[in-house]
C-alpha cells in the first residue's frame, strides 16, 4: 500500500491560491451560509458541521495538522453533538410560527455586510505589507506533534493549566446550570 514518502505532514508546497483552497473555501462558506440560513435548526447544525469540517481541511491545507484534527475532534465530535442535543432538548427543531428571523433582521444583515466590507477593505488595504506578499511561497513549516507537546508543556504550560482550570469550571458550571431546575422541582 501507500509508501512512506506519502504523508500529510510534508505535502509538497502548493502554488499560491491552489485549486484545493478554492474548493475548501467554497465548501466552508457554503456550510456556514447554510448554517445561518436554513429554516430547520437541525439542518443548520448539520450544515455547521460541514463548515467545521471544511475549516479543519483548511487547517490541514495550512500544514496545521494538529490544529486540524483537534478542530474535528472538538467541534464535530463534541460541539456539534452538543448543539444538536440542545436543539432536541429545547424542541428547537420545529420552526416557530412567526418566522425564524428576528424582527429587525435587515439591520443585522446590513451590519454584517458592513463588517465584511470593513474587514475585506482592511485586508486588501494591508495586502502589500502582509507577510508572504513577495509572491514567493514560504516553505511549509515541518512542525511535529512532539514540538507542539514540548511547547505545551514548556512555554505554554501556564495557559495550558489555565485552560484546564477553565474547562473544569465550565464542566461544573454547565452541569450546575443544567441541573438546577431539576433540583428545584424535587
Partner 1 sequence: MTPLTGYLLVAALLFSIGLGGALTRRNAILVLIGIELMLNAANLNLIAFWRYGPHPEALTGMMFAIFSIAVAAAEAAVGLGLVIQIHRHAHTTDLDQMNRMRG
Partner 2 sequence: MTEALDQVFVLLSRWLVSFLPAGWRPAAGVALSVAAIVCLFPALFALTVLLERKGLGRMQNRIGPNRVGPLGILQPIADGIKSLTKEDIVPTSADGVVHFLAPVVLATAVFMGFAVLPMGRNMTLAKMDAGLLFYFAIGASTELSVFMAGWSSRNKYSLLGAMRAVAQMISYEVPLLMSSVAVVMIAGSLSLDRIVEAQNHYTWGLPHWYIFTPWGFAGFVLFAIAATAETNRSPFDLPEGESELVAGYFTEYSGFKFALFFLGEYLAMFSISGLGATLFLGGWSAPFSFLGWVPSWIWFFGKLLVSMCVFIWMRGTLPRLRQDQLMNFAWKFVLPLTMLNLMVAALWHFLGDGWARWAVCSAILAVSYVGMAWVGMRRMHFGARSYRYAE
Partner 3 sequence: MLMQSDLLTLSSLNVPMPPQAWIVRWLWLIPVLPIIASGIISLLKQPQRKLSAGLAIGSLSFSFLLSFSAFAHRMGERALLLDFGFNPMARDVVNITWFQVGATSVDLGWVLDPLTAVMLVMVSFVGLLIFIYSVGYMEHDENFTRFFCFMSLFAGAMLGVAIANSLLLLFMCWELVGLTSYLLIGFWYQRPSAAAAAKKAFLTTRVGDVLFLLGMVWLFAQTGTLLFYKGGAGAIEPAALTALLAQHAGLGLSAAGAIGLLIFAGAAGKSGQFPLHVWLPDAMEGPTPVSALIHAATMVAAGVYLIARVYPLMAAGAHAGGSTAALTVVTWVGAFTAVFAALIAVAQNDIKRILAYSTISQLGYMMAGLGMGGVAVGMFHLITHAFFKALLFLGAGSVIHGCHEEQDVRRMGGLRTDMPLTFVTYAIGMLALCGFPLLFSGFWSKDGILEAAEHWSVAKTPFYMLVFGALLTAFYMTRQVAYVFFGARRGSEPAHESPRVMTAPLAILAFFAMALGLIGMPAWPWFRAFLEGRAMGFDWHGFAEPGLLALMGTSTLVVFLGLGLGWWLYGDKSPAPQEPDALERLAPMPWGWLRDRLYVDELYGVTAIAFYGWWARVADWLDRRVWGGAVAGVAGAFHGWARFNRFLDTNWVDGGFDKGCEELASGGGLLSRVQNGRVQTYLRILAAAVVGLVAILIWSSRP
The residues in 11-70 that bind partner 2, with binding defined as CB under 8 A, are 40, 42-43, 46, 49, 53, 56, 65-66, 69-70
Contact between 4 and partner 1 (CB under 8 A)? no
Decide: is 2 part of the binding site for partner 1 (CB under 8 A): no
Contact 54, 28 (CB under 8 A): yes
**Cβ count near 45 (within 10 Å):** 23
Place of cell 465584511: 116
State how far the Cα of 50 lies from the Cα of 48, in Å rounded to an integer. 5
Q: Under the criterion CB under 8 A, does residue 182 sit at the interface with partner 2?
A: no
161 binds partner 1 (CB under 8 A): no
Under 8 Å CB-to-CB from 55, ≥6 apart: which residues?
A: 28, 71, 75
Given partner 1, partner 3, partner 2, none, residue 20, with its beta carbon under 5 to 8 Å by kind, binds none
Check binding of 167 to partner 1 (CB under 8 A).
Answer: yes
Contact status: 167 vs partner 2 (CB under 8 A): no
- CA distances in angstroms from 33 to 17, 39, 101, 121, 136, listed in the order given: 22, 12, 14, 21, 33
CB of 85 to partner 3, least distance (A): 22
In angstroms, the Cα distances linking 107 to 85, 90, 118 are 30, 27, 16
Among 7, 8, 10, 116, which residue interacts with partner 1 (rule: CB under 8 A)?
Answer: 116
- Residue closer to partner 3 (CB basis): 108 or 154: 108
Is position 102 an interface residue for partner 3 (rule: CB under 8 A)?
yes
**CB of 125: closest distance to partner 3 in angstroms?**
6
What is the closest distance, in whole angstroms, from the C-beta atom of residue 3 to partner 1 in the complex?
A: 27
Q: And the C-alpha cell for 123?
A: 485586508
Amino acid at each position: 500500500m501507500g509508501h512512506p514518502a506519502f504523508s500529510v505532514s510534508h505535502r509538497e508546497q502548493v502554488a499560491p491560491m491552489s485549486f484545493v483552497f478554492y474548493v475548501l473555501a467554497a465548501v466552508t462558506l457554503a456550510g456556514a451560509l447554510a448554517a445561518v440560513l436554513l429554516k430547520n435548526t437541525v439542518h443548520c447544525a448539520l450544515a455547521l458541521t460541514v463548515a467545521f469540517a471544511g475549516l479543519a481541511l483548511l487547517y490541514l491545507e495550512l500544514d496545521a495538522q494538529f490544529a486540524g484534527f483537534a478542530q474535528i475532534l472538538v467541534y464535530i465530535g463534541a460541539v456539534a453533538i452538543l448543539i444538536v442535543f440542545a436543539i432536541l432538548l429545547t424542541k428547537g427543531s420545529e420552526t416557530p410560527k412567526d418566522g425564524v428571523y428576528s424582527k429587525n433582521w435587515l439591520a443585522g444583515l446590513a451590519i454584517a455586510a458592513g463588517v465584511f466590507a470593513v474587514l475585506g477593505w482592511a485586508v486588501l488595504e494591508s495586502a502589500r505589507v502582509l507577510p508572504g506578499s513577495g509572491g514567493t511561497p514560504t516553505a511549509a513549516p515541518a512542525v511535529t506533534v512532539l514540538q507542539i507537546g514540548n511547547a505545551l508543556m514548556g512555554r505554554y504550560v501556564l495557559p495550558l493549566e489555565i485552560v484546564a482550570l477553565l474547562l473544569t469550571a465550565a464542566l461544573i458550571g454547565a452541569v450546575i446550570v443544567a441541573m438546577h431546575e431539576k433540583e428545584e422541582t424535587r
